[in-house]
Chains A and B, each alone.
Chain A
Amino acid sequence: MRAQADDGLPAGPAAGEQTREVTLRVNGVGHRLRLPVRRLLSDALRHDLERTGTHVGCEHGVCGACTVLLEGRPVRSCLILAVSVDGQDITTVEGLAAPDGGLHPVQQAFRERHGLQCGFCTPGFLLTTVAFLRETPQPSEEQAREAISGNLCRCTGYQNILASVLRAAELSAGREEQA
């Protein structure tokens, strides 16, 4: 074993590694921080900002668990460098519910239709669905299936996720009418 005492233990960039000061705007709040340039956005959200709602299931772009909205569009946060999105608007699952804690219609629908089991894939599906329904408020089943077909779930077999997406469309429509 080789052990070396280290005085600067709190997580931070290694000496010699390039860092950069950036603003991460997450759910409407700006966070100014200095990050190693190689930090993945998923890691910056999870470990630097400690917003752990964004999950990582593969870190190579296939599973979609890490999906966040970047300027309103779903993207894989594991395939983006944090320093690349300085100043841009990021929405994570923590930003979906209303400030009073009221669930977003998409969250509500997933609860009603049992669209989650272990919940690990869920944030990615929620954000994908939120963006999808904004553009396609009244989707057909086929459209809904296609919309969620870039996200992996190992638990649900997707059937109830699909039902949740369709239910979310209904709930959102209901809210519009009420508003």
Chain B
Amino acid sequence: MSTAMFGAPVRRHEDARLLTGAGRYLDDLGHRALAAAFVRSPHAHARVSDIDVTAAAEVDGVVAIFTYEDLTGRMAEPLPLLIPHPALHAPRTAYPLARGEVNHVGEPVVMVVARDRYLAEDAAARVVVSYDPLPAVVGLPAARSARHAVHPDVPDNVAAHLVQAVGEVDTAIAAAPHVLELDLEIERSASTPLEGKGVYARWNSDEGSLRVYTSTQASTSVRAAVAAKLGLPLVKVDCIAPDVGGGFGVKIVHPWPEEVLVAWAAQRLAALAPEGIKWTEDRWEHFVSSAHERGQLQHVRVGFDSDGRLLGLDVTIWHDNGAYTPYGIIVPIITSTQLLGPYKPGAYRCEFFSLYTNTVIVTPYRGAGRPQGVFAMERTMDAIADHLGLDRAEVRAVNFIAAEEMPYDQGLIFQDGRPLIYDSGDFAATLDKLKALVGWSDFQAYREQARAAGRRVGIGLACYVEGTGVGPYEGGHVQVETSGKVMVATGLTSQGQGHQTVLAQIVADELGVDFDDVEVTTGDTRRFGYAVGTFASRAAVMSGNAVALAARKVRQKALRIAGEALEADPSDLEIVSGVVRVKGAPASAIPLSTVAVLSNPLRYAFDEAAKAATQFAVGDTSKPPVAEDDEPGLEARDFYSPTQSTFANGMHAVIVETDPDTAEVRVLRYCVVHDCGPLINPMIVEGQVHGGVAQGVAGALYERMVYDDAGQLLNASFMDFLMPYASEIPTVEIDHLETPSPLNPLGIKGAGEAGVIPGSAVIASAIEDAEGFVIRRMPISPSELFELRASYAAGRVPGLRRTSGERTDPRTRPGHSPDNDSPDNDSPDKET
């Protein structure tokens, strides 16, 4: 579709408030609320033997102190397992407050409610908890060894085990002319939005109802979870996501212990807390008690032919899921399916083990398992290219699914429980664009030039496919008010993606009204009660199509009513700038505001507009004022529910420079080609890509979670968790391809996560190219690169064939020559 607003880089509606300090984030609400603070476990694994709150209760301003023993009803049960899966055979979730045992540093043990946060912290500091420490299981090797168990009834620490396979992978690899094996590792990072979590709940004693504000990506579901925990009817609970200062996945998890505890305490302490209770997560809490992601070990075995074509791909993944599995095993499922990217793998088998450790829980962080999968696949592509002495881009190209093969069924089950079928994409075209953008073919000349000046540079590339817009559904409500303003609501939430703008663009076009007359509300259950949430790059696809469908319904109704008023056939009418008029005869017109008035036959004339609509003013007296199949009001709601996800894709290339002396890595150029279908608002899409790339670079070069063996997180502050500043982030060069999705009315695909996905893969590819030895583990710091250089010099790390032709991999069999093109199947080149 091509209309005025869709596709335009429209300035955002949100900005007027956010630029002037008029935004309202969670902690901006409830100034007179009581404050909650938590006593959190200082141990990774321990039994709680005693809790003494006597001294804490004496702190002036303390209102209440709760431990597990105080929890009643369903509050005393474990938190829900949000996404069960048959393969998750040993799911475990936490109690809102620790019940006798703690399983990670930061787990909440005691809740203190006081007059303000300072006093609540004073009291929390005086709570005496006695712990009997237990052995901590930290890191995947410890979890796999199962010398100690996180949960005594899960002695092997395995929460889930899943195998998916297409074809006979062992046979295919056995028959392949070349075989390689790679061990790959990615460390933990986290979403780390600049605003932490937070919840503010107020019990209304007069109505017996609860209002919960929470910094979430899923307000409808928090509402349902809180209602269930408190045993309240759904209609007695409202849940509102106010302005949210970033989410990136961590705020999709719910209910957080604090969400149910604060709501529960607000009800319980209603008499003492007439203005409610608020908890605002501080940065330390965000590090130790929200969620992390990415930590995985991956083993790849691949068989391929002499053109680099994949014949069989066998991947085993060990996924660190932390102490509990409230969000199921979405992350490793996504890794194991999305790993395939734009390629046809031949036979494919993927097996994963999801393992418990005594660390913070693991739930999706932007990219959600894809960065690890892309790391596995793209490291493999590079290894194949190097093994065969082929161009890395060419090896990828021979494996691409062709545009003519769409839709393409990968034969697997995706995260939504539905078949993994790609709907669209032209990967060869994307690669061509990328090579042109980065200057792939000219790089050798640049490298020589740099080398002559004593500089070390390298180039890398990585490709990905991203399932976006996963179901089951989203809905939208569109209402034209008698003022002519169009009020739109959708249930999912916003964390900075500009939904209020993008959805207004769509509705403005569908309805024929001015963009500035459209006002969009997200994440407020008072306005829209049904929603799934904002994750998996689904908001624009799901709510975009839902509000488009709702707007189309409103349009139909407006044309019908206007047709009656203008005595014209609705099909002869158009709506332009909020006025319905006869095509070709614009003088014959009626504003939508008047249509809205006419749509609602009234008895009382409370204002001028209403006067025109009273039952005495309008209508055919022989008919009922509201027809049998009609409703008053110029409004409609509709839902969009696709049969499957839509698949966006993209390819990144980077040029890096590594300092020969200090091993610092600098990204000189970062190029992105991205296909998310037609762009609703290119300015916003590019902003999403920039932000994603920055997180990708951060995850590759700066950020990680450093746990010691005792399970203490050693870098739980912005001082030591190195979220990059502008000084560390490169400029991103972007080119777009717009292959529409055949799956939805607008043809769009999601864009929210794309930028981050290939970050570690593409940067590893470029560092490897610059250094001449293999990179198998990310992120990488200058210190680690320095150590790797030393290991390489000592022969402990294999070199690349293309840069150190004479040097053989120390682990390849004796007598094997890298120049020897003969099949080397009987003894795979095992790399580390």
Contact = CB atoms under 8 A, between A and B. Distances in A.
Interface stretch (A111-119, A131-139, A170-178): A111-119
A6 B691 contact: no
Interface in A117-165: 117-123, 126, 145-146, 148-162
Given A152-B194, A160-B687, A119 B731 contact: no
Contacts of A56: 27
A52 B692 CA distance: 28
Majority DSSP secondary structure for residues of B touching A: loop
Q: Specify which of A111, A154, A158 lies most central, judged by the most chain B CB atoms within 10 Å of its CB.
A: A154
B118 A9 contact: no
A8 to B, nearest CB: 8
A60 B269 CA distance: 32
Interface in A40-67: 46-47, 50-60, 62-63, 65
A126 B118 CA distance: 29
B20 interface: yes
A4 B60 CA distance: 10
A55 B195 contact: yes
A29 interface: no
Given A6-B272, A155-B246, A159-B731, A118 B21 contact: no
Contact of B496 (A54, A96, A107, A119): A119
Contacts of B116: 11, 47
A33 interface: no
B11 interface: yes
B694 interface: yes
B691 A154 contact: yes
B757 interface: no
A62 B729 contact: no
B31 A47 contact: yes
A6 to B, nearest CB: 6
Interface residues of B, number: 72
Contact of A4 (B32, B62, B687, B719): B62
A136 B23 CA distance: 29
A51 B20 contact: no
A179 interface: no
A148 B118 contact: no
A26 to B, nearest CB: 11
B24 interface: yes
Contacts of B119: 14
Interface in B282-303: 282-283
Interface string B111-122: 000011011001
Nearest to A160: B687
A27 to B, nearest CB: 10
Given A10-B32, A38-B118, A145-B727, A114 B63 contact: no
Contacts of B731: 159
Contact of B719 (A14, A53, A57, A62): A62
Contacts of A38: 118
Nearest to A5: B272
A50 B732 contact: no
A120 B11 CA distance: 18
B245 interface: yes
Given A151-B725, A155-B691, A53 B22 contact: yes
A150 B20 CA distance: 21
Contacts of B118: 36, 38-39
B640 interface: no
A61 B693 CA distance: 25
A146 B53 CA distance: 49
A6 B123 CA distance: 15
A117 B21 contact: no
Contact of B283 (A60, A93, A145): A60
Nearest to A6: B63
Contacts of A54: 21
A164 to B, nearest CB: 10
Interface stretch (B64-72, B158-166, B481-489): B64-72
Given A15-B60, A63-B718, A110 B19 contact: yes
A3 B64 contact: yes
B687 A154 contact: no
B723 A154 contact: yes
Contact of A1 (B66, B683, B686): B66
Contacts of B11: 111-112, 114
B496 A155 contact: yes
B248 interface: yes
B28 interface: yes
Contact of B723 (A1, A50, A152): A152
Contacts of B727: 145-146, 149
A171 B245 CA distance: 28
B61 A6 contact: yes
B244 interface: yes
Nearest to A161: B726
Interface in B1-42: 11-12, 14-16, 18-25, 27-28, 31-32
A150 B725 contact: yes
Interface in A67-117: 92-94, 96-97, 103, 107, 110-112, 114, 116-117
Contacts of B692: 157
A30 interface: no
Nearest to B243: A119
Given A52-B28, A122-B19, A57 B61 contact: no
Contact of B690 (A57, A146, A156): A156
A38 B245 CA distance: 27
Contact of B18 (A11, A46, A116): A116
Given A9-B115, A11-B115, A55-B195, A149 B19 contact: no
B610 interface: no
B655 to A, nearest CB: 17
Given A111-B11, A158-B694, A92 B726 contact: no
A160 to B, nearest CB: 6
A6 B20 contact: no
Contacts of B230: none
Q: Specify which of B11, B20, B23, B192 lies most central, judged by the most chain A CB atoms within 10 Å of its CB.
A: B20
Contacts of B53: 2
A53 B20 contact: yes
Contacts of A28: none
B693 A107 contact: no
A29 B15 CA distance: 26
Nearest to A63: B718
Nearest to B280: A56
A11 B20 CA distance: 27
B162 to A, nearest CB: 32
B380 interface: no
B213 to A, nearest CB: 14
Contacts of B25: 52, 55, 120
Contacts of B63: 3-4, 6
B67 to A, nearest CB: 8
Contact of A62 (B20, B248, B718): B718
Interface string B61-105: 111111100100000000000000000000000000000000000
B549 to A, nearest CB: 27
A149 B729 CA distance: 10
A154 B246 contact: yes
A63 B122 CA distance: 25
Given A4-B57, A58-B283, A119-B19, A154 B192 contact: yes
A160 B690 contact: yes
Contacts of B798: none
Closest 3 CB pairs of A and B: A53-B21, A118-B496, A120-B245
24 contacts: A3-B269, A10-B32, A14-B59, A46-B28, A47-B116, A50-B31, A53-B23, A55-B195, A55-B245, A57-B195, A58-B718, A62-B719, A63-B194, A65-B194, A103-B19, A107-B20, A111-B19, A114-B12, A154-B695, A155-B687, A156-B687, A156-B691, A157-B755, A160-B687
Given A3-B64, A152-B725, A157-B729, 16 more contacts: A15-B60, A36-B118, A39-B118, A59-B283, A62-B718, A62-B719, A63-B718, A110-B19, A118-B18, A119-B245, A119-B496, A149-B726, A154-B691, A155-B194, A156-B691, A159-B732
